[in-house]
Chains A and B, each alone.
Chain A
Amino acid sequence: MTRLQTISGSFRMSLLHFFTDPQWIIPNIIAPFVFTIVALVLFGNVSASVALYAVLGGGMMGMWGNTLYGSGFALAFDRWNGTIEYVLATPSRLVWIIAGRSASNAVLGLVNAFAIVLVVAIGYGTLFVVANPVLFILALILTLASLSALGVVFCSAFLLSRSAQVMTNGLEMPIYVATGSMFPIALLPFWSHPISLSLGPTWGIDAMRYAADATYTGLGFGYWTDLLLVAASTAIYMAIGFWLFIVVEKKVRRDATLTEY
């Protein structure tokens, strides 16, 4: 119960912070939005199933952008505002506080994704028709959970570093490329395929494409296998994130480096 209270309190606080100054959604949304428009210009008059890559990829990038920046700045803002000591001094474990913040970033990430899809659909005239909406929403939710869990893993590393902002900038593009957000990962060099396949969002976006386009063949494992792999990778990320937070929290307390920025 205490854990749930911590998560919900942190979730609520994080949303309140966001709505106090909602302009911060722009840095999270601008890159995926621009990338989607560039992709649609490059795709030109290609078939609807290829254009689907751009729109779905843009949505996934919107979710990742928000999760990554949310995680990167979750503790950096506390450092800048001088509140990180209070956050760590509470009897609640840091990982549950971060879990609440990540959940709120995930919700906002979903809004990001829908905003990108909507703006592209209205502004660019690309209709987004989903073959199986129920399976699509299921894949979308699991992909979002996977991205959030990945964000928690990175967030623990950001706690160690004074350069969280730099790391955040550096981690945005590699995930866009490695997950094949806008193109098939088969185009990437063969040696990089194991990296791509070890990322939950790669399977998540593949599942979304299966659900959206009945003719899609993708990675060839089918919708349900993709979904299983997303769920499994999410569980692994969460376990790693939880463990890392315990280790890192102890380390920054011992080394007295928590407030360095």
Chain B
Amino acid sequence: MFLELKNVYFSYMKGTKIEKPVLKGINMSVKEGEIVGIVGPTGSGKSTLIQHLNGLLQPDKGKVYVKGRAVGETIRPGRIRKDIGLVFQFPERQFFEETVFDEVAFGAKNVGIGSEELENRVSISLSMVALDYNRIKDRSPFSLSGGEMRRVAIASVLAMNPEVLILDEPTSGLDAKSREEIIRSLKALREENSLTVIWVSHEMDEIASIAERLIVINEGEIALDDIPEKVFTHADDLKKMGLGIPQITLLMIELANKGYKVPSNIFNLEEAKTVLLNCFKS
């Protein structure tokens, strides 16, 4: 197993009167090359969870394993950060360099990558997120569009050559076009470079179309962990948690409730089309 959390507990402000338990016994694992979606309502513990995956936070109880090694025991938390890249929410808010080149190079430079290799890495990372190196490298990162900024931020993590890429709500605040750009680049990235991707989101329509597996977190516990088709059979539970359900799935549920023989866990347009044509075209 590539990444593994065993019985992980974590509280903020531990030992104080306002101690707030956030993770309550998390067990999960991620295989190499997998693309996993983590979903949950605001405040469910998603962001806290992913910070455990790259050693930014360490569990109060339980263990995190990276390629079989226990973080904080047989491997230093700082060491795994090179292999497990984390893109924060609104990462462009952390921009501070004067050019896109310097911004993307910053992390790699800090771990001692030499100038020739550095240029190589920056150029590859930018092309991985479909940005033209020559056109963009000397521009100020602050002069870019929202979608471009987001991709530059992702490129700066890619320049560290991570094996796992974790993204916390990578499309939030972006319009449809920029969202699609991000999704397209990440899909391509994964296919061409066999990266393991962990994608945190609350956009159900979006994540259903990307992830091979969905982990649903609610109130610090894993509520569901399965392929999207199976997860959406729990539509009532998801609604109770305040999570959206893909429109197509909602339609299927409505029709099933009215007595039509349609599966109620479809979220994909093409599948829905086939099913509905079979059912209604006579």
Partners in one complex: no
